[in-house]
């Protein structure tokens, strides 16, 4: 049954993505200000399909921001790269530049005001990240960044990238750590989608003036502990 449901979901996922991306080509030209709303519709449809077909439900704990915010999330699943479009009003993802080259989909990312970075761009890429992050903050958007830089299997420890610290310092926004177990239901490169609850937990914000090393250490502690323990570790490490 899991295989059948996963097959149905994957067919639905790619079909919805293709047709909305095609429709988005016209929206991008005729009403570019509506591209983000189209992305939000896409994300809601995918999350709904995951719940109805695969039995995957999303449960959020913690306070969701409504104004400008910097959200640093653990990254275990493709679900993480779309679910925030359903949780906050003006999501602005930090994502890899290669996605801009995806036919139909890539141009929509740019028009939606997402922040695309060259992961091998060094200092120039970091300057671009900070510039675009400041723009998004001034627009009152919620910036979502995955400090691990790529998806990681549950329990896997990956080094954190320094971009989140640079964003915090230059935007003046506190960093909201987020832990999730999405990989247990929608695994990295996994065909099968397992029914159950995906827990998304927002922890207490870390002050933007926190030194880079201390901030990254606090995030690392949070990402590799259960939510209750993570909250205590973060509080102790930056307190």
Q: Where are the domains of the chain?
A: 2-238
Residue 187 CA to residue 80 CA, distance in Å, equals 11
Instruction: Give the other-Cβ count within 10 Å of 17's Cβ.
Output: 16
pLDDT at residue number 100:
77
pLDDT for the residue numbered 143: 97
For residue 234, the model assigns a pLDDT of 58
pLDDT at 118: 78
In terms of Cβ atoms closer than 10 Å to its own Cβ (0-12, 13-18, 19+), residue 191 is exposed
Quick one: pLDDT at residue 232?
61
Residue 160 DSSP one-character state: P
Predicted structure pTM score: 0.90
| 71-87 confidence digits (pLDDT tens) | 999 988 889 999 999 99
Beta strands per DSSP E along 53-195: 56-61, 69-73, 91-96, 115-117, 142-145, 175-180
Helices (H) and strands (E) in the chain, counts: 8, 7
Question: Which value, to the nearest 10 degrees, does the dihedral of the CA atoms of residues 77, 81, 83, 84 take?
Answer: 140
* CATH value of 2-238 in 3.40.1130, 2.40.50, 2.60.40, 3.30.70: 3.40.1130
Q: Tens digit of pLDDT per residue, the chain (239 long)?
A: 888 998 999 999 999 999 999 999 899 889 988 999 999 999 999 999 999 999 999 999 989 998 999 999 998 888 999 999 999 999 999 988 888 788 777 788 888 889 988 777 677 878 888 899 999 999 999 999 999 888 877 777 788 888 899 999 999 999 999 999 988 898 877 788 899 999 999 998 998 889 999 999 889 888 876 656 665 655 655 55
The string of pLDDT tens digits covering residues 144-182 is 999 988 887 777 778 888 889 999 999 999 999 999 998
Q: 139 burial class (0-12, 13-18, 19+ CB within 10 angstroms)?
A: exposed
- The kind and range of the H/E element at 199 are strand 196-202
- Report the C-alpha gap between 113 and 125 in whole angstroms: 17
Measured between alpha carbons, how far is 168 from 166 in angstroms, rounded to an integer? 5
Can you name the residues that pair with 59 across neighbouring β-strands? 199
At 225 the pLDDT is 66
Q: Please, which residues have CB within 8 angstroms of residue 184's CB and are 6 or more apart in sequence? A: 76, 154, 194, 196, 198
């Amino acid at each position: 049954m899991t295989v059948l449901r996963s097959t149905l979901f994957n067919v639905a996922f790619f079909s919805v993505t293709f047709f909305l991306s095609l429709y988005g080509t016209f929206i991008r030209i005729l009403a570019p200000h509506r591209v983000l709303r189209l992305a939000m519709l896409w994300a809601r449809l995918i999350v709904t399909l995951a719940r109805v077909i695969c039995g995957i439900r999303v449960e959020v704990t913690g306070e969701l921001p409504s104004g400008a915010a910097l959200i640093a999330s653990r990254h275990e699943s493709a679900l993480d790269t779309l679910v925030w479009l359903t949780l906050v009003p003006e999501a602005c993802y930090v994502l890899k530049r290669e996605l801009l080259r995806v036919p139909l989909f890539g141009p929509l990312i740019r028009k939606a005001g997402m922040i695309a970075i060259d992961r091998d761009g060094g200092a120039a890429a970091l300057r671009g990240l900070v510039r675009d992050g400041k723009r998004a903050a001034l627009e009152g958007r919620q910036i979502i960044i995955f400090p691990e830089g790529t998806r990681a299997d549950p329990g896997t420890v990956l080094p954190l990238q320094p971009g989140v610290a640079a964003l915090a310092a230059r935007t003046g926004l506190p960093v909201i750590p987020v832990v999730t177990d999405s990989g247990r239901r929608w695994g990295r490169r996994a065909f099968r989608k397992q029914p159950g609850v995906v827990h998304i937990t927002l922890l207490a914000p870390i002050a933007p003036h926190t030194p880079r090393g201390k901030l990254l250490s606090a995030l690392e502690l949070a990402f590799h502990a259960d939510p209750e323990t993570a909250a205590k570790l973060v509080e102790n490490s930056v307190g």
